[in-house]
Structure 1
Amino acid sequence: MLIIHEHGRKAAIHWTTGMDVPRAPLWIDLLDPSDDERRCAGAISGLRVPDRGDVDNLALSSRIRTDDDAMYLSIPYFADVDHAARDGGGHQPSPLGIVVTGRLLMTLRFHDSPAFDLASRSCDEQRWESSGDVLATLIEAIVNLAAKRMEDVSADLKKLSDRVFTTERLGTPALRDCMLEVGRLEGEQARNRSSMLGVQRIVSFVRAKQPEWMSDQVEVRLRVVDHDLRTLDEFDDQLTNKLQFLLDASLGFISTDQNHVMKVLTVTSVATIPPVILAGVWGMNFKHMPELDWTFGYPMAIGIILLSMLLPVLFFKWRGWLEGD
């Protein structure tokens, strides 16, 4: 798909084969483009349209570089998905490429993005004057939605914490579900972290280069975004520590639950030792055993065996070793 935002025009143009070429394009957005759409974008912009291999390169020198008057920026792992899509799962990060010059911005992506939709809608509210305005608007949208996703993770962590730290005794299956939830939230936060790291590098690079097309207003907006990214980085550390704490707590509760089971088995085994000894003594085949001739020898033996089981249990109860079970 090829989406073109033209200077001075609010509605975006969804280009199809045979359409006229816009005269003053300001933002060329390529969404998993076909060969025809790539050729059209190249003809409109006069720039080399990067392919997926270019923006997927992990080398830092390939991710952020300048070529004549154009800046080639990329994020190899860009995960931008809203709360509803997150619950559905199955979202995989994909690379994002950005080419910016003094007259236009060109983006290359391979998945739908709420941040791009938000930046596109903002064109109806404010008039973009330069490619720098478009770039700042796009980065602001990415960062704002990333902050929203981190807030959603924080809210889910609060609910998970209430599930783990409850007065009711949780069994191992329930605690295992909590651990799976921790893993899901950590995976989502890792995707947010990779995206924000790429955005932070882009913002730092653009501010350090200070190209001619970056006006004072755009520089101020990028400075605010840079501060927001640092704040989100600290927030990410807090969420990571909370996730690790909940994981350790779940493992600790599972270990405690297993200790309770082992304690019950230990008490049971200790309580059955005396009757086993007594039954073994009275089960001997000696000729002279006085208890064999007693009238009440059998009920007496049964009673003593039961008493030998009851006394250890009462002793453990008195010492408090059976508390909680």
Structure 2
Amino acid sequence: MHISKELEKKIALPPATPVFVGEKKSEEVKITAAIYDEKSAEFEELKVEDLENILNYDKKLWIDVTGIHDEEAISKICDILGIHPLAAEDVLNTAQRVKVEDYDDHLFIVLKILLYDDNLEIDQLSVVLKKNLVVTFKEREYQIFDLIRSRLKKGGRIRKFGVDYLAYAIMDAVVDSYFEALLKISSEVEVLEDEVVSGNSALIGKIHGLKREILAFRNAVWPLRDVLSFFTRVEHDLIGEEVKVYYRDVYDHAVRLMEVLETQRELVVGLRELLLSVLSNKLNEIMKVLTMIATIFIPLSFIASVYGMNFKYMPELEWEYGYPTVLIVMAVIALVEVVFFKKKGWI
């Protein structure tokens, strides 16, 4: 996705204009609702027009929206749920940086979902936290959300505490997924460490690509600490004191993530320098061998050029054993040079 071209759609438009910026990753907009309390949890698939009725439930709600490419549908969903127009605009703009916005009666959080197979893909996740309501807007389905639904079905703290704990659980699952992506990157770094010593110049491209992926990873998650710090230090009606300790825990995970990510980035930079050093040493060895060969042949070339002048009165010109004698002398000179170079440790 070329973000710079995508963002041209928003030039000179009024604030809060709903414009989708990104790549379509779901065929349709799908809405799933989790209706739960401490005793039970129910899940329903909804249409946009069903949202007004479900808000009347006297239970905690999690409305999960998959597919954000439909500007009209997303705008209508945000309008029904009372989400600020500026937040609705940010939901549709997948080029947003990780952040948290306070709109008094609700909090709006932007996170990034990292998918790493052969290449790194970065999706956007938007989370809205209101009283007794959490709304998530995601570009496509992710396994971590199935795990959170499983926890809701089983019960425990996620059903006992308020929706602020559910928001924490979502953030914690996202941060944990970063470690999974980072583990795959670390495996690639280890493989490259073993291959770099071979001095294969083709590895430069792999190292450069991995460096770019780590940089994109870093840019996507670096602001996460500020977002999580907000939940640990700010007094807000939507965040209970008993849940803040859990936000501090995920904040610690984020700090650890940044430390490991920086280590991997430094390792990749070091691998590039190591590869260049190995290639340079390899080139030096080649030049050394070529220099030795040239040095050996310098006196031999001199002798051959002297006896190749063909003057009429040259000594040994008509000598019967002149040719083999010169060859023997040249061989002895070459042998002496080789022995001398070996004693010096040059070869």
TM-score by length of 1: 0.82
The alignment partner of 2:101 has SS state of strand
Mapped to 2, the partners of 1:147 and 1:228 lie a distance apart of: 9
Change in Cα spacing, 1:87 to 1:38, as seen in structure 2 (3 Å) is closer
215, 228, 235: which one aligns with 1:203: 228
Question: Runs of 5+ in structure 2 lacking a partner?
Answer: 1-29
Return the alpha-carbon distance in structure 1 between the equivalents of residues 229 and 49 of structure 2: 40
1-structure distance, mates of 2:199, 2:228: 48
Match of 1:32 in 2: 67
Q: Is the 8 A contact 1:32 1:111 kept in 2?
A: yes
The residue identity in structure 2 corresponding to 1:298 is Y
Distance 1:56 1:98 in 2: 15
Equivalent residue runs for 1:1-325 within 5 Å: 1-8=30-37, 10-16=41-47, 21-22=53-54, 23-24=56-57, 26-33=61-68, 34-35=70-71, 37-38=73-74, 41-42=77-78, 44-48=80-84, 50-51=88-89, 52=91, 56-57=95-96, 63-75=99-111, 78-81=112-115, 86-89=116-119, 91-126=120-155, 127-128=158-159, 129-164=161-196, 170-173=198-201, 176-177=202-203, 179-322=204-347
Task: Tell me: CA distance 1:258–1:14, structure 2 relative to 1, closer, same or farther (3 Å).
Answer: farther
CA distance change for structure 1 residues 39 and 245 in 2, over 3 Å: closer, same or farther?
A: closer
Q: Which deviates more, 26-35 or 45-54?
A: 45-54
The 8 Å contact of residues 203 and 226 in structure 1, kept in 2 or not, is answered as yes
| Aligned residues of 2:78 and 2:88 also touching (Cα < 8 A) | no
What is the deviation of 1:184? 4.1
Letter of the structure 2 residue corresponding to residue 45 of structure 1: L
Question: Which moved further from structure 2: 46-55 or 302-311?
Answer: 46-55
Residues matched between the structures, number: 305
Post-superposition offset of 1:43: 5.5
CA drift of 1:87 comes to 3.0
Taking the aligned partners of 1:64 and 1:292, their CA distance within structure 2 comes to 95
| 1:15, distance to aligned residue in structure 2 (A) | 2.4
**Structure 1, unaligned stretches of length 5 or more?**
none
The answer as to whether partners of 1:2 and 1:37 remain within 8 angstroms in 2 is no
Instruction: Say which SS state the counterpart of residue 105 (structure 1) adopts.
Output: strand
SS of residue in 2 equivalent to 1:99: strand
Q: Take 1:252 and 1:3, find their aligned partners in 2: how far apart are those partners?
A: 55
